[in-house]
Chain A
Amino acid sequence: MLYLVLEIDGECYGLNALSVTEVTPLVELEQIHEGPEFLAGLLNYRGRPVPVLDLRRMIKKKPCEKRYCTRIVIVEYPRTTKTLTLGLMAQKVVRSVRVTQEFSPMELRNAPYLGGAVVERGRILHCLTLEKILSPQQALEVFG
């Protein structure tokens, strides 16, 4: 399976390539002042407004730095009956990796989005579970 690697403060997180629509470069986002903190803004993606989540803000409580390697990953977020397009902003989105081993299962109460971990090239790679990346309350705040 091919995984897209996102790095947040030296920790590597893997996202299944099949759930990724596209990787776009960082552009200026439309700010939403009344929105939650983890919402970086709205992205005009091919004529559609797409909410973009700041993953560093969600995990490390710090906003992403604006670099060349800071990119937005467009994903299809599954919500009960339908899927919604969502942008995930993360640093060092520069490579993909093919994982052949099984992920060791993991269920953390405070971090439900971590679906397991695997050692890849000597480094721990956490598997992000897209369905659980937002808590139900956060999903309500973003999508209503």
Chain B
Amino acid sequence: MRVASSNWERKQKESQGYAIKNFLVDRSMSILVLGTLLTVFLLTTATREMTDQIVRDGALRQAQALVQTFQSMAFSSKPSSLQIQNMVSKVEQDLKGEGQGVRLITMPANPFERRDAQGSGPLDDFQRKALRQLNEGKVPSFCGLSEYKGEVSFRYAVLLSGPEESPGVDLLLEVVQPLGSVRADIKRQIYSGAGILLGLGGLGLWFLGAVFGRLKNLRDHRAASESILQEQVQQLLSFVSRAADGDLTSDVPFQGEDSVGMLASGLSVMINQLGELVWQSQLLSRQVVSSLSEFASSALRQESIVLEQSHRSSTLAKAAVTILDSSLSVESTMESMTVVAEYTATIAASGQAGLETMEWTMTQVTQSVERIQQRLTELNDRAGNIGGVVTTITRVADQTNLLSLNASIEAEKAGDYGLGFGVVAEEISRLADQTAVASLDIEEMVNEMQNAVAAGVESMKQLAEDVGMGVLHVQTAADQLTLIMYEVQQMVPKFEEVATEIRSQSLLADDMNETIQDLEGVARSSVDAIRESNHAINELKCLAMLMQGEVERFKVHQ
């Protein structure tokens, strides 16, 4: 802005100067000479001021870029002294100008100790001021113009953490760029231009004084060459002001062997060098921004990965807890099952004993039934014998009846003589009838008895079969119970094995749970760390973008 305002002022002054000069050319040649000298003086002054400004701005930007680069290189970890040395030499290589340089001053790391420290050597005013400002933490860096080794230089200072070998030490990095070297060159060019102008002016004066009268008609032509010179200066001014506005792409409008042309050539060289410097800074800052973006995105990815890992490990922890619970419940179930199995084995054993007793009893019953069957068969035989006897009795009774019948018939035939015999025959008949009835009764009883015995024999047979079947069933049941008992007894140690396995499994699950919880804690802390670094990267990125914006303001040849 100062450049722009000085341009404007300069233009104002120049326009005034032109008006006076035109007036004087019309009136007097001496006024023309004075005007020319004034113009040269004004031009020289303006150019000098402008040059100073350009040099200072360029130096500041260059120094800042270098320091930023330095800081970005030293950012990731504490650099070793070798790394610091390498960086310093690199920066020195970048600063090719004469008298320029980088200085590293060793400082105590503690700000309170640092306040009165002299460092590795005596400090000058600028360094003390910079150290004070940096100690208070008001500014991240300190810059200004100061005398250095008898030259006015642009100086830029920043505090860096020291090399990792010596933890209690910080470094004060100072970049020095003397303004004089650049400015002297430009100044020399301008002054030579001014001298030529002065010579030209004197020659013109002599020439004009000698042939003033004859050359009065050449006034118009001279006026024209004046105006060309005006125009050229105007063009140079506009070129310089474009450069001051940041446009370093425009070419110098004209070249020539005269002083103005040389001035233009010098300006052109200067602007081109500046442009090259700015172009390198732009490239560097773009690279910094892009690498920071990549860094930030990778940090984000890492954060998300660690977050996911943390989620997974918490899920895993839940699963481990579930496994622990279920294995505990299975363990208790297995213990109760073992108890039940032992109880079952006991019951089966007693049941087997009962079944053996029952089997013995059933065998006894079978034997008894067989004996009873035998007795009943004997009884049936006896009843049959009784039936034979009864048949005999019946036959005798029948014969008796027949006899008595015939006797009574014969007695009837005998008439009165057979009366007594007839009574006897009747008695015999009655006796035979009673015998027959009695024998019939016996027969019936015997028949009934035989039927009963036969039924008894049948039911005994059935009973014997049933008992036999029962014995078979009991034997089968006893065998099965034995098998069950064997199986159950086999089962008990297996249950115990399973319970032991599950116990060890639950211990493992417990360990696993603890490990997973530890993992979760680790993941959480790494998430925090990544977040912090992410935040720092973002801040850095903002800073880098700001810097890029500043550098990008310049238009340069690509």
Are A and B physically bound partners?
Answer: yes
Interface residues of A (CB under 8 A from B): 2, 4, 17-18, 20, 22-25, 68-69, 71, 93-96
**Residue of A18, A69, A93, A96 touching B408 (CB-CB under 8 A):** A96
- Given A17-B413, A18-B413, A68-B395, A94–B408 Cβ distance below 8 Å? no
Inter-chain contacts of B450 with A (CB < 8 A): none
| B window 406-435: CB within 8 A of A | 406, 408-409, 412-413, 422, 429, 433
Query: Which A residue's beta carbon lies closest to that of B411?
Result: A2
Query: Given A68-B394, A68-B395, A96–B402 Cβ distance below 8 Å?
Result: no
Assign chain B's interface to a size class.
10 to 19
Q: Please judge, given known A-B contacts A68-B394, A68-B395, A95-B429, whether A2 and B402 are in contact too, CB under 8 Å.
A: no
B373 within 8 A of A: no
- The 8 Å CB contact of A95, one of B405, B406, B412, is B405
List A contacts of B433 (CB < 8 A).
94-95
A107 CA to B324 CA, complexed, in Å: 122
Contact A23 B412 (CB under 8 A): no
Chain B residues near A (Cβ < 8 Å) = 394-395, 398-399, 401-402, 405-406, 408-409, 412-413, 422, 429, 433
B398 and A68: CB pair below 8 A? Answer: yes
Chain B residue with Cβ nearest A2: B412
User: Are B409 and A17 in contact, with the CB atoms below 8 A?
Assistant: yes
CB distance from A87 to the nearest CB of B (A): 15
B412 engages A93 (CB within 8 Å): no
B412 to chain A, nearest CB (A): 4
Q: Pick the contact of A23: B394, B395, B409, B422 (CB < 8 A).
A: B409
Whole-angstrom CA separation of A96 from B402 in the bound complex:
11
Q: Give 19 pairs: A residue, B residue, CB < 8 Å, sorted on A.
A: A2-B409, A2-B412, A4-B405, A17-B409, A17-B413, A18-B413, A22-B409, A23-B406, A23-B409, A25-B399, A25-B402, A68-B394, A68-B395, A68-B398, A69-B398, A94-B405, A95-B405, A95-B429, A96-B409
Top 8 A-B pairs, shortest CB-CB distance = A2-B412, A17-B412, A68-B398, A17-B409, A23-B405, A96-B408, A20-B409, A94-B401
A18 to B415, CA, bound (A): 10
Q: Give the secondary structure class of B's interface.
A: helix
For residue A68, give the distance in angstroms from its CB to the closest CB of chain B.
5
B422 surroundings in chain A (CB, below 8 A): 2
Task: Closest A residue to B432 by CB, please name it.
Answer: A94
Report how far A33 CA is from B408 CA in the complex, Å.
36
CA gap between A93 and B402 in the complex, in Å? 9
Contacts A17-B412, A18-B412; is A93 near B405 (CB within 8 Å)?
yes
Least Cβ distance of A97 to chain B in Å?
Answer: 10
Query: Shortest CB–CB separation between residue B403 and chain A, in angstroms?
Result: 9
A41 to B398, CA, bound (A): 23
Further pairs besides A4-B409, A23-B409, A96-B429: 13, Cβ < 8 Å: A2-B412, A4-B405, A17-B408, A18-B412, A20-B409, A22-B409, A23-B402, A24-B402, A94-B401, A94-B433, A95-B429, A95-B433, A96-B409
Complex Cα–Cα for A83 and B394 (A): 36
Residues of A within 8 A of B429 (CB): 95-96
Q: Which residues of B contact A24 (CB under 8 A)?
A: 402
Shortest CB distance B281–A (Å)? 155
Expressed in whole angstroms, the minimum distance between the Cβ of A98 and any Cβ of chain B is 9
Chain A residue contacts of B394, Cβ below 8 A: 68
Chain A residues with CB under 8 A of B398 = 25, 68-69
| Minimum Cβ distance to chain A for residue B498 (Å) | 87
Chain B nearest CB: distance from A37 CB in Å?
27
Query: How many whole Å from A95's CB to the nearest CB in chain B?
Result: 7
Chain B positions within 8 Å of A25 at CB level: 398-399, 402
CA distance A4 to B410 in the complex (A): 12
Across-interface contacts of B405 in A (CB, < 8 A):
4, 23, 93-96
Distance between Cα atoms of A23 and B409 in the complex (Å): 9
Residues of chain B within 8 A of A94, CB atoms compared: 401, 405, 433
In Å, the complex CA distance between A76 and B353 comes to: 89
Task: Compute how far the CA of A96 lies from the CA of B413 in the bound complex, rounded to whole angstroms.
Answer: 13
Chain A hits for B409, CB < 8 A: 2, 4, 17, 20, 22-23, 96
Contacts of B395 in A (CB 8 A): 68
Measured CB to CB, the nearest residue on chain A to B391 is A68
Q: Which B residues lie within 8 Å of A23 (CB)?
A: 402, 405-406, 409
Of all chain B residues, which has the CB nearest A69? B398
Out of A2, A22, A69, name the residue touching B406 (CB < 8 Å).
Answer: A22
Per the bound structure, the CA–CA distance linking A105 and B406 in Å amounts to 28
